[in-house]
Structure 1
Amino acid sequence: MYKRILLPTDGSEYSLREVARAKHLLADDGEIIILSVAIKIRKTAFHRTKDVRKMNKEAMKEAEDNVNAMAECFDDSINLRTMVKVGFPSETINKVAEEEDCDLIIIASSGVSGIHKFVIGSVAENVLKECERDVLLIHN
């Protein structure tokens, strides 16, 4: 059983598959941290400042919606925290796992990026490569 489990979510149906595993692997006095990472869009020659601000605001709203939707899958008996961060997904997931001293990261093998059925998604792959913690990869 794990004391602190990190559940990264991108809002995809695949990330919701992490929930059942997390419930099953969490220690009685454990905690689940649900994380969604909003990618910050930077201004380029092709974007107006106003448009970039709007896209970043929408990305934050989507990330908040993602963690809230996953949180609804747990009952009140589970010690649960939600977190929204801005950054690059795999780097941010690994950083949060380290900062929060998570024992386990449960991540779906592909998400909203539409990665092929038999290929590990780039975020999941990078988490696996870079992380020094236990990682449970949920097959889609």
Structure 2
Amino acid sequence: MYNKILLPTDGSGCAEQEVDRVTNLIADDGEVIIISVAGKITSSAFQSKDKVRKLNARMKKEAEEAVKKMEAKFDSSIKVTTMVRTGFPAETINQVVEEEGVDLIVISASGKSGIHRFVIGSVAEKVLKTADIDVLLIHNN
């Protein structure tokens, strides 16, 4: 059993299997930390500051909705903490692991798809390669 499990989510809808695994692995007095990492776009010559601000606000709102949606899937007997951070997902996940003393990361093998995934790359793969703790990779059907 694990005392602190980090559960990253991007709101892609692959949560059911992750919640089942976490529920089976968390200690009775353990804590689940659900995190969503919102990207941050910086201003460029091709986009106005106002458009960039709106895009960043939208990404943060989507991240907030993703953690709320995931939190609602847990039984009330499990201690759940939610957080939204801004940054690069894999790096931010590893920072939270260190800051919070996390024992296990449970992450979906696939999340967002299409051009978004192509541009950003596989967060799960980066976490697997860089994490200093156990990572449970959930295969999605």
Which TM-score applies when normalising by structure 1?
0.92
Give me the whole-angstrom Cα distance separating, in 2, the residues matched to 1:86 and 1:99: 15
Where does residue 57 of structure 1 map in the other structure?
A: 57
Q: Which runs of 5+ in 1 are unaligned?
A: 116-120
Give me the whole-angstrom Cα distance separating, in 2, the residues matched to 1:47 and 1:67: 29
Q: Which runs of 5+ in 2 are unaligned?
A: 116-120
Where does residue 41 of structure 1 map in the other structure?
A: 41
Cα deviation 1:11-63 (Å, max 9, x = unaligned):
01224421110001000000000000000011111110000000000011000
Number of corresponding residues: 135
The alignment partner of 2:56 has SS state of helix
Moved over 6 A (4+): none
Where does residue 86 of structure 2 map in the other structure?
A: 86
Give me the whole-angstrom Cα distance separating, in 2, the residues matched to 1:24 and 1:98: 23
Contact 1:107–1:124 (CA under 8 A) maintained in structure 2: yes
Letter in 1 for 2:77: S
Deviation at 1:90, TM superposition (A): 0.5
Identify if the C-alpha distance between structure 1 residues 57 and 74 changes in structure 2 by more than 3 Å, giving closer, same or farther: same
Give me the whole-angstrom Cα distance separating, in 2, the residues matched to 1:24 and 1:130: 25
Q: How does 1:1-140 map to 2 (within 5 A)?
A: 1-114=1-114, 122-140=122-140
Give me the whole-angstrom Cα distance separating, in 2, the residues matched to 1:113 and 1:65: 18
Deviation at 1:111, TM superposition (A): 0.3
Letter in 2 for 1:83: M
Give me the whole-angstrom Cα distance separating, in 2, the residues matched to 1:2 and 1:114: 34
Q: Provide the aligned C-alpha RMSD in A.
A: 1.3
Identify if the C-alpha distance between structure 1 residues 76 and 15 changes in structure 2 by more than 3 Å, giving closer, same or farther: closer
Which TM-score applies when normalising by structure 2?
0.92
The alignment partner of 1:92 has SS state of helix
